[in-house]
Structure 1
Amino acid sequence: MALIVQRTPPLRSLGDMPVDRFLRDYWQSTPCLLRQVFPDFEPELDPQDIAGLACEELAEARLVSGRYPEHDWRLRHGPFGESDLLELPESDWTLLVQDVEKHYPPLTGILEAFGFLPTWRIDDLMSSVAAPGGSVGPHVDQYDVFLLQASGRRRWSISRNFDPERVTGCELDVLQRFDAETHWDLEPGDVLYLPPGVAHHGVALDLCMTWSIGLRAPSQADLLIALGEWLAEHGEEGERYTDPRLGTSPRPGEIDGAARDRFSALLGDAVNGPAISDEFLGRFLSTYRLAHAPAAPDTPLAAPAVASALQTGALLHRNPWTRLAWTPHRGAARLYAAGECIECRTADAERLCAGACWRLEGAADPELTDLVTRLVNRGHLILEMPDATD
């Protein structure tokens, strides 16, 4: 038995640019405008769909109004009521919704198109709907992002050399001053790539929608917090502070440079030693920035029922709120599903991480059936039963 992945194949070129050249010349270094990466692009969701999603309880939505250089910014958080959105003015606002592909799984195909990157790096699809003049202000992100123009037109202004001063007393992380070095107008199907640390300012030229494909980039603080929690949970405190060959301390209460250096070495030993295990990374990266945990079904299924369903045409879908990753382990694999760790065969881990939908081909395989059953009963995979009328 094998699971056949049904997915959008990774892009081989970004418009006229081969992926290999993009990775060599632009990735994590240089902003890049990529024309017609998705020719004749027609979004599966329109601005009204995104507005409806922004009213849902589980959606992470924000509404930004204001202009640059006036800096009259206002930020509101959802969920919103229908009246909140109907009363918006004709210009100068932006509605943003995170994790859109988790609420509407068919959009996973957009993320799969960027599968030429490590799949564990791909975070989510954020939708931005903006009225003419709409913006979130000039700002800097600390992660890579692909900005796909889904509908309408947006002007992006870019600067690699900028004054880092932020607007004080503002809920948004907006630059006080911004002098653009480059301007690009994007139309549907165009993609703008921005590496970390580049100042950018997008302004809607008409009612438009931009889809952002963000890449996960944990900070040192993220990693250290998670590592500390991991060590505490597993009872692995590691080495403790020591100070052999200690001299007299003439000033009471002073934490001197030698102590600081010893603490730095202790922390370095933890980070660079065996604490950063494959299992820690797998669990951490499969949960990092995950807004909701997948819910298990009310009624567990037995392995024979799962095998029968697959053999009679059921499709297997990844729960949109589950992230999958794997690491090699003793000639096989450890599969990580939203923080859970399951040992399995390498081929099975690869297939399950390769897409978000599968069908069965061939005879039953007890080992794969048991793996799929466990993932179904934990809520990480969902069985879609065949339509009885087909």
Structure 2
Amino acid sequence: MYQLSFAFDAFLAQYWQKKPTIIKGGFQNFVDPISPDELAGLAMEEEVDSRYIARQGGNWDVQHGPLSFDNMPEDNWSFTVQAANHWHEGAARLVAPFRQMPGWLFDDLMISYSTPGGGVGPHIDQYDVFIVQGSGKRRWRVGPKKENYEEEFRHPSLRHIKDFDPIIDEILEPGDILYIPPGFPHDGYAIETAMSFSVGFRSPKKQELLSSFADFVIANEIGDVHYHNPDLPARKNYGAILDSEYCDLENMMRSLLDHPELLKQWMGEHLSANRHELDIITAEPPWQISETYQFLEEGETIHRLGGLRAFYYPEYPHILYINGERFELPPECSNAATYLCDQDTISRDSLGKQLDHPAFMALLTQLINLGYWYPAD
């Protein structure tokens, strides 16, 4: 089990979304949770999001997966696998120490393999990332945050910026962690063959929230009401939009937000939806509730699918939002949120009396049949 060597609350107070930093020995005695061959195997799969990046002098080559690894150059190349925690249980364990952060902010674990000189070039990201150095060594440079960095178009798939004066310039060794907040330019390249593990946190944009809420309003036929004004005044200026009319239309729009329960439902569904593909295998044949009960009674364990997003509001712990859907249980099933959203495994010992509640067992069986939970090997 991976364990951080520093106090997370102190880190948040000093660095989170404030300034980049390197934590030497953030993981003691760090061992890669996945081998290069296993990572390459994932990159060759159709449903896995992978990318190959190579540099020859001033020229860059980018290929999107599925990848093949025939006739590879000797150095100056790397490949990445996005959402590796969805596909590899060992890699997913590296995310666990970061669960002191809100789950709805977590995006994915990206893993990169680089030959000497391999990297993606100087760029800026708009998310928070903890880059854990695995095997090998990598040099990282991070610049100050400012508005006027000039872009360089070296390849259509890469958004490079021109070089910057670094405020961090260090070599990372196994177990070191580089934290970079949004907006800080950075550039890393391998000094020797190396693995890097990037734990990314991505906050939603205003545009995303507005677009998603609009889709929710339309799908649920909320506010399907026309503007109505029985006191409409006559006017001489045909093209004018009177201030009172503007205010009425504005209030129509704002009134869509005057439904706190609907807003919570939309937000729960929106935040639990996944941006990345999941390794879902539905149960065939479907389980019966009696089978789920017997499986747990025999002391077996059920695991949550890697990367599955499952959230709840503490004031309504019997209402769950899982993979973009809302599931409601009777209020007496309030412990369901702990089992299904806060934990990765379910067993007879952890469930206690909840094992005997028909509604909870029916939902758990439904989630198993959807492929969201699965029996441990």
Q: CA deviation at 1:193?
A: 0.8
What is the CA RMSD across the aligned residues, in angstroms? 3.0
Is this contact kept in 1: 2:87–2:306, CA < 8 A?
yes
Q: In the alignment, is residue 373 of structure 1 matched against residue 373 of structure 2? A: no
Which structure 1 segments of 5+ residues have no match? 1-7, 386-390
Secondary structure of the 1:52 match is helix
| 1:154 and 1:203 in contact (8 A); partners too | yes
Q: Note the 1:328-339 alignment, pairs <5 A.
A: 328=314, 332-339=317-324
**Which residue does the alignment assign to 1:383?**
375
Give 1:360's aligned amino acid: R
Q: Which amino acid aligns with 2:303?
A: H
Aligned counterpart, 1:157: 141
What is the TM-score normalised by the length of structure 2? 0.87
Q: Secondary structure at the match of 1:236?
A: coil
Aligned counterpart, 2:26: 37
Structure 2 residue ranges without an equivalent (≥5): none
Does the 8 A contact of 1:62 with 1:76 survive in 2?
yes
CA contact (8 A) 1:325 1:336 kept: yes
Partner residue of 2:270? 284
Contact residue 152 and residue 207 of structure 1 kept, 8 A:
yes
What is the match of residue 352 of structure 1? Answer: 340
CA distance in 1: counterparts of 2:280 and 2:9, whole angstroms:
35
Alignment CA distance shift 1:341-1:87 (3 Å): same
8 Å CA contact 1:282–1:336 kept in 2: the answer is yes
Q: 1:174 & 1:289 partners in 2: Cα distance?
A: 24
Q: Which residue pairs with 2:192 in the alignment?
A: 206
Report SS of the residue matched to 2:313.
Answer: strand
Residues 137-176 of structure 1: CA deviation (Å, up to 9, x unaligned): 1111111111001111111101124542212363211113
CA distance in 2, matches of 1:286, 1:318: 14
* Alpha-carbon distance in 2 for matches of 1:105, 1:256: 61
1:118 Cα offset (Å): 1.1
- Counterpart for residue 234 of structure 1: 220
Match of 1:59 in 2: 48
Spell out, residue by residue over 1:63-95, the C-alpha distance to the aligned partner (whole angstroms, 9 max, x if none): 11227xx652221101012xxx24221221120
Cα 1:218/1:255, change in 2 over 3 Å:
farther
Aligned equivalents of 1:247, 1:160: Cα separation in 2: 57
For residues 136-285 of structure 1, the aligned pairs below 5 Å read: 136-162=120-146, 163-168=148-153, 170-237=156-223, 270=256, 274=260, 277-285=263-271
TM-score by length of 1: 0.84
Q: C-alpha distance in 2, partners of 1:38/1:200?
A: 22
Structure 2 SS opposite 1:231? helix
Q: 1:198 to 1:261 in 2, by over 3 A?
A: farther
Opposite residue 40 of structure 1, the aligned amino acid is: N
Match of 2:61 among 31, 54, 74: 74
Q: Which letter does structure 1 place at the counterpart of 2:325?
A: E
**Corresponding residue SS for 1:111:** helix
Distance (Å, rounded) in 1 between the aligned partners of 2:245 and 2:122: 42
Distance 1:382 1:208 in 2: 33
| CA displacement, residues 28-79 of structure 1 (integer Å, 9 cap, x when unaligned) | 1111111112111111212222112111111111011227xx6522211010
**Paired residues of 1:293 and 1:322 also in contact (CA < 8 A):** no
Name the amino acid aligned to 1:356.
D
**Deviation, structure 1 residue 177:** 3.5
Counterparts of 1:293 and 1:187 in 2: how far apart (Å)?
Answer: 32
Matches within 5 A, 1:282-321: 282-292=268-278, 294-320=280-306
Aligned residues: 366
Distance 1:123 1:246 in 2: 55
**CA deviation vs aligned residue, 1:172-223 (integer Å, no higher than 9, x gap):** 1111333323202111111111111111111111111100001131212221
Q: Measured at CA, do residues 157 and 315 of structure 1 come closer, stay the same or move farther in structure 2, by a change above 3 Å?
A: same
Kindly tell me: are residues 221 and 316 of structure 1, through their superposed partners in 2, closer, same or farther at Cα, counting changes over 3 Å? same
Q: Which moved more, 1:320-329 or 1:181-190?
A: 320-329
CA distance in 2, matches of 1:129, 1:312: 42
Determine helix, strand or coil for the equivalent of 2:86. helix
Q: Which amino acid aligns with 1:338?
A: N
**1:156 touches 1:184 (CA, 8 Å); kept in 2?**
yes
Greater relative contact order (CA < 8 Å, ≥ 6 in sequence): 1
Instruction: Determine what percentage of the aligned residue pairs are the same residue.
Output: 29
Relative to structure 2, which stretch is displaced further, 267-276 or 125-134?
Answer: 267-276
Which aligned runs of 4 or more in structure 1 are off by greater than 4 angstroms?
A: 238-250, 254-273
- Whether the 8 Å CA contact 2:317–2:337 is kept in 1: the answer is no
